[in-house]
Amino acid sequence: MLWKLFYVFSRVALFSRGGGPALTAGSDKILIVVAAFAMLTLTMLNPVWLVVGAAVFGLVVY
């Protein structure tokens, strides 16, 4: 799965925009994905609570 993610990212993002702008444009999304992955793999958190927490966070921030 990680290989597929790398492949798609390298073909779409790196070749269309260049490496630096592609990474900085999506840096907030990368941080969200890393945080969600860490929460789900390193804790016994139910994924439903992750979705509910993200929705509440979105309502408060945006």
Give me the domain span that covers residue 14.
2-61
Please state the domain count of the chain. 1
Q: Is 3 exposed, middle or buried, given 0-12, 13-18 or 19+ CB atoms closer than 10 A?
A: exposed
Over residues 9-35, the pLDDT tens digits come to 776 665 665 666 666 666 777 777 888
> For the whole prediction, is pTM greater than 0.75?
no
Over residues 6-16, the pLDDT tens digits come to 777 776 665 66
- Identify the helix (H) or strand (E) that includes residue 15: helix 15-17
- How many angstroms separate the CA atoms of 3 and 41, rounded? 19
